[in-house]
Amino acid sequence: MGRFKGRRSAPSLESVAGNGLINRRALLGQGFAIAGAGAVAGATGAAAEPLQDYPWSLEFGQSTPALQSPSKFEKQVTRTLSNPKDELRNSHARTPHHLLNGTVTPNSMHFSINHCGIPDIDPQQHKLVIHGMVRQPLEFTLDKLSRYPLTTRMAFVECAGNSAPMFSNEPMQITAQAIHGLVSNSEWTGVRLSTLLDEAGIDPKAKWLVAEGADAQMLDRSIPVKKAYDDALVAIYQNGERLMPGNGYPMRLLVPGYQGNMNVKFLRRIKAVDQPAMTFFETKNYSQILPGGKTWRFHFLMEVKSFITYPSFSHQLKEPGMYTISGVAYSGAGRISRVMVSADGGKSWGEAALQGPTHPQAFTRFVMPWRWDGQPAVLQSRAWDESGNAQPLRADFVAARGQTKQPVTNPLIFPNQHYNSITSWGVDNKGEIKHVYA
């Protein structure tokens, strides 16, 4: 008699690194069981008893709404606001990464930064103009753009100031939302910018585009023409529906992998020119200062990065046993190729499983099985991209780009930009989690 074909043997729960990290292959089959298989204490015979009928099972439910909203039991899953009283200044809304999963950020949870409020744009009157060094200036309405062949792709958008609290010389005790909430990932649909530039007949001598938004501050940024032809879109849909007002309705620029403010929202003008415009936003707000006082003239690319979303600060491990460490990784240079996870503060590492498909310049979710023994642990993740770039260790990052001399006490300020080093979560023997540097 032969073996039963198609029946897989249960993967072993072999350790691959210190402090209880389990081989990621345990996630592929039947070997990773939380309840009922003895992996953790607490399995009982309750499942064999008749189910209790709760009130919601004994009465007719609510009517079906035209527009769904989350359950009232999920009301804590919201963005946090930097300007809740709507004062006349900029405002930030951060994504609650520690309360989400998967790779697509819901539209209502996508981070948003608005320097001059959210304009109330009538899509019937809004126009996009392409002019400057072109053979024929063109004007587009939302309706006209919608008639072009549309392209859909996944892409993250990240503020250059995301993770700024990590520049503090002491770790701040705040959530992954407060640290990393200025990055989100969506499926974007729009018209290739190259299609529109070809139709306008861009001059070969034009090397830059100046993109301008229709908000009251008219945020504008210089975009290399090469990037426009590589993969830029004029996006008009986000996750299958029209853009949210705070994310650029009715149209925005999408330059995958480049810093967030270059993805100009409320897009109304693209001017072809032969040199960068050196606008206010690219010479002051988004110029990164290095140790020694020098400043990068431009720093467009958002570098390879990862962070653990579960477990993380504000979560608590209630008992020793099996857990799944989970987080997101991304790189402006392409696809994520590998994520390593440590449970002992970087002394040893195990390779995490990547949940596919992996898209370039987009979130990749990684997962790692972990058997927590109730003793202190330090959880970390480190990512590599397909270009061979590695997420830097904190000591190396601080040596190159600096940190504050005094502890930062306000998580809403921006000591510097483009932080992409490792985030560490310390677990104590009570299962409580703190932000630590390791």
List, for residues 238-258, the tens digit of each pLDDT value. 999 999 999 999 999 999 999
Q: Which residue's entry shows tokens 């063109």?
A: 138
Q: Could you count the other beta carbons within 10 Å of the beta carbon of residue 25?
A: 16
Please classify residue 410 by burial: count the beta carbons closer than 10 Å to its beta carbon, then call 0-12 exposed, 13-18 middle and 19+ buried. Answer: exposed
Question: How many Å apart are CA 129 and CA 420, to the nearest integer?
Answer: 36
Question: How many Å apart are CA 410 and CA 407, to the nearest integer?
Answer: 9
pLDDT-based confidence at residue 294 (cuts at 50, 70, 90): confident
Give the model's pLDDT for residue 29: 63
Contact (Cβ atoms closer than 8 angstroms) between residue 182 and residue 94? yes
Please, what is the average pLDDT of the chain?
A: 92
pTM for the full model?
0.93
Please classify residue 302 by burial: count the beta carbons closer than 10 Å to its beta carbon, then call 0-12 exposed, 13-18 middle and 19+ buried. Answer: buried
Give the model's pLDDT for residue 39: 47
pLDDT-based confidence at residue 421 (cuts at 50, 70, 90): very high
| Amino acid identity at 120 | D
Would the pLDDT of 423 be above 80? yes
DSSP strand pairing (233-238 vs 183-192): antiparallel
Residue 418 zone, left/alpha/beta (φ > 0; ψ -120 to 50; rest) = left
Question: How many Å apart are CA 76 and CA 265, to the nearest integer?
Answer: 28
Among 176, 182, 208, residue whose Cα is nearest residue 260: 182
What backbone phi and psi angles, to 5 degrees, belong to 236? -125, -10
- At 60 the three-state DSSP class reads coil
Q: Which helix (H) or strand (E) segment is 180 a member of?
A: helix 176-180
* 49 or 65, which is more confident: 65
Distant-in-sequence, close-in-space partners of 196: CB < 8 Å, separation ≥ 6? 130, 138, 140, 234, 270
The dihedral built from the CA positions of residue 165, 170, 174 and 175, taken in this order, carries a sign that is positive
Would the pLDDT of 394 be above 90? yes
Would the pLDDT of 46 be above 60? no
Contact (Cβ atoms closer than 8 angstroms) between residue 287 and residue 295? yes
Distant-in-sequence, close-in-space partners of 375: CB < 8 Å, separation ≥ 6? 19, 429
The dihedral built from the CA positions of residue 178, 103, 304 and 278, taken in this order, carries a sign that is negative
Contact (Cβ atoms closer than 8 angstroms) between residue 321 and residue 39? yes
